[in-house]
Amino acid sequence: MSTDRPTGAEHITWDLTDLYATDEDALRALEKASGRAGEFADAHRGKLADVGAAAFADLLKTYAGIQDAAGRAYTYAYLAWSTNTASPATGKLLQAVKEEYTALSTKLLFFELEWVDLDDERADEYLQLAETRDIADHYLRMLRLNKPHVLSEPEERILVEKGLTGRSAWNRYFDETMGAMRFTLHGEQLTQQQVLARLHEKDRSLRRDAAEAFSEGLRENERTLTFIFNTLLSDKSTDDRLRGFTSWIQSRNLANEVDGKDVEALINTVTGSYDVVGRFYRLKKDLLGIDEMTEYDRYAPVSEADSHWTWDRARDIVTRSYAEFSPEIGRIVERFFDEKWIDAALGDAKRGGAFSHGAVPSAHPYILLNYTGQVRDVQTLAHELGHGVHQYLSRGQGIFHADTPLTTAETASVFGEMLVFQNMLAAETDPMNRLSMLMGKIDDTMATVFRQVTMNRFENRIHTLRREEGELDAEQFCSAWMETQEAMFQGSVTLGENYRHWWSYIPHFLHTPGYVYAYAFGELLVLALYRRYLDAPDAFVREYTSLLSAGGSDWPHVLVGRLGIDLRDPAFWQSGIDAINDLVQEAETLAASHKKS
């Protein structure tokens, strides 16, 4: 490990015994759930059309219980592995759970397939029962919308079973490859998380060397990473062809419960506003006092202020910010700290990045961080706790509606960031430090909105190329990356040769193709929500809490519409861009005032 300053997070680890006391307990529970799945299949396969509405509601509850039990075991194994990806023991556990989970899933396949195959009259009859509507109405209706893309049961069974040694295995290989990678910086061997943290340092030579070290590590693994990307791009193409999807993004839009035209409107609005990005980075170049803005200058702080945040200090401002917004939500946030639902310590073999895992309704969420004590780590903590609160509140919807589509999944996380940022800004009295904080916030916004859309453009390019031209070489990936990234900066940032390889470490491209536009979706939505909060705080808090508690029980545009926001209005996206433009103008004004003084 590196000699980073202590943060107090070195011993902040989660307690997985809320799920299971031991690995063996998790495996036994999953085997028991698999047995129940077999009994369920034996009792109901081929009979769904004739059971009647009341019996259907009962078997739906049984089905939900099996899914919850299986998901609980899977969560335990994945979380155990994510903090020690190099351990043979956690790897073996995860694989054993995946194999048993796959076997269980194949036993239950018939349920969704028979439901989709019911005639409309019988399906409507089953949905008339309030007991069914309360726990699964939207879920069941969404399944029927997927009917054109559903295969026969034997075909679906093959895809599920082969997926274990296909997409799932390649994604695990990517994760373990990145987890094992070390980057040599000034004679020290750093993890991905540690070397990328150096890009936020004030020392420009350190940032440059960190970028070079990171690039060199990616270059050394270029052959492996290129092959993984090609394999998973081809797998996605095959899956889309078999299921009758006409474009690489169609399945993601359906899962996100948004119309492709609305996504196109979002992307076109963002790409048509790249001039805002150019203005921001030209301002940042002036504030940094450098002749040329490069890729390793993008996240540089613009003031010399000490930006070190201990874990306790971060906890204090984050919990206070949430509690001031809503005492109810504040109490939920406190539980994450008090009851050890967070793992924040750095680890040599720990998965990089951060996430909040919703687990299952019978349990509670868990948050993984790699806390280094920087300002952005405080924002990451706020972000993941937003997810955690959302997941905690939506548990009441049950297994079918607890999860939300990606488009609204980022709402609570980004809103939480905004709450914490405003408190951090209010506590700062030095004008230059306030400007630095504002610039840092805009940095994050640029990354969340504009950079994510450029990554969507990169994804679009590589999926299209892979389908039209076959296997791609590393240079084709690099060229597609540079062309889509350079478009955003409008000449304000010079991207060097090292940056050509930075497509290869981003897991979303592989784990969840098409994911990234959801970040922009969520950020622009939150900018609109935050304005409504400022206009009518008390009423908004009630409506917002109801939105989070609703989980995925209805269409995103319906749930958000209850707060007075029309996601289907193209002008909505422009209003979000206008809010970002206002932030840039505020920074320009503060910078001009500082220059005069």
The C-alpha atoms of residue 134 and residue 140 are separated, in whole angstroms, by: 11
The type of residue at 453 is V
Q: Where are the alpha helices (DSSP H) in 326-364?
A: 327-338
CATH number of 16-167: 1.20.140.70
The C-alpha atoms of residue 513 and residue 237 are separated, in whole angstroms, by: 11
What are residue 368's phi and psi, to 5 degrees? -110, 130
Q: How far is CA 448 from the centre of its chain?
A: 11
Helix pair 311-325, 327-338: axis angle to 10 deg: 150
- Vertex 302, ends 498 and 354: CA angle to 5°? 60
R_g over Cα of the chain? 24
Find the helix or strand (DSSP H, E) in which 184 lies: strand 183-185
CA distances from 299 to 377, 445, 455 (A): 13, 12, 18
Q: At which residue do the structure tokens 């989970």 appear?
A: 101
Residue among 374, 500, 388 nearest 443 (CA): 374
**CB-CB contact of 210 with 218 (8 Å):** no
List the domain boundaries for the chain.
Answer: 16-167, 221-303+438-534+550-597
- Vertex 169, ends 392 and 509: CA angle to 5°? 65
Find the helix or strand (DSSP H, E) in which 235 lies: helix 222-243
Q: How far is CA 361 from the centre of its chain?
A: 19
- Bridge partners (DSSP) of residue 355 are 368
Q: Which residues of 255-272 are buried (b: 16+ CB within 10 A; e: fewer)?
A: bbbbeeebbebbbebbbe
- In this prediction, residue 3 carries a pLDDT of 42
Who contacts 178 (Cβ-Cβ below 8 Å, separation ≥6)?
A: 192, 352, 505, 507
**CB-CB contact of 249 with 514 (8 Å):** yes
**CB-CB contact of 282 with 271 (8 Å):** no
Q: β-pairing, 342-343 with 188-190? A: unpaired
Q: How far is CA 70 from the centre of its chain?
A: 22
- At 139 the three-state DSSP class reads helix
Residue 398, sorted as left (phi over 0), alpha (psi -120 to 50) or beta, turns out to be left
Find the helix or strand (DSSP H, E) in which 262 lies: helix 260-271
Helix pair 120-127, 53-82: axis angle to 10 deg: 80
What are residue 183's phi and psi, to 5 degrees? -120, 125
**CB-CB contact of 300 with 288 (8 Å):** yes
Residue among 41, 29, 107 nearest 69 (CA): 29
Q: β-pairing, 366-368 with 355-357? A: antiparallel
The C-alpha atoms of residue 419 and residue 432 are separated, in whole angstroms, by: 21
Write down the number of H helices and E strands in the chain: 26, 5
The C-alpha atoms of residue 470 and residue 480 are separated, in whole angstroms, by: 15
List of E strands, 308-403: 342-343, 355-357, 366-368
The type of residue at 573 is W
User: What DSSP designation does 294 have?
Assistant: B
The C-alpha atoms of residue 464 and residue 308 are separated, in whole angstroms, by: 44
- At 562 the three-state DSSP class reads coil
The separation between the first and the last C-alpha atoms of the chain, rounded to the nearest angstrom, is 43
Structure tokens at 413: 């996380």
Residue among 357, 361, 359, 358 nearest 65 (CA): 361
Residue 128, sorted as left (phi over 0), alpha (psi -120 to 50) or beta, turns out to be alpha
* pLDDT, mean of each 10-residue run, the chain (597 residues): 75 98 98 98 96 95 98 98 95 96 96 96 95 95 96 93 92 94 96 92 96 98 98 98 97 94 94 97 96 96 80 98 98 99 95 94 98 92 98 98 92 95 90 89 94 98 98 98 97 96 97 94 91 92 97 95 88 92 94 80
The C-alpha atoms of residue 556 and residue 257 are separated, in whole angstroms, by: 7
Q: How far is CA 447 from the centre of its chain?
A: 14
Q: At which residue do the structure tokens 């950079």 appear?
A: 451
- 547 HSE (CA, 13 A, CB side): 26
Which CATH superfamily, name and number, covers 221-303+438-534+550-597? Oligoendopeptidase f, C-terminal domain (1.10.1370.20)
The C-alpha atoms of residue 39 and residue 35 are separated, in whole angstroms, by: 6
The C-alpha atoms of residue 125 and residue 510 are separated, in whole angstroms, by: 40
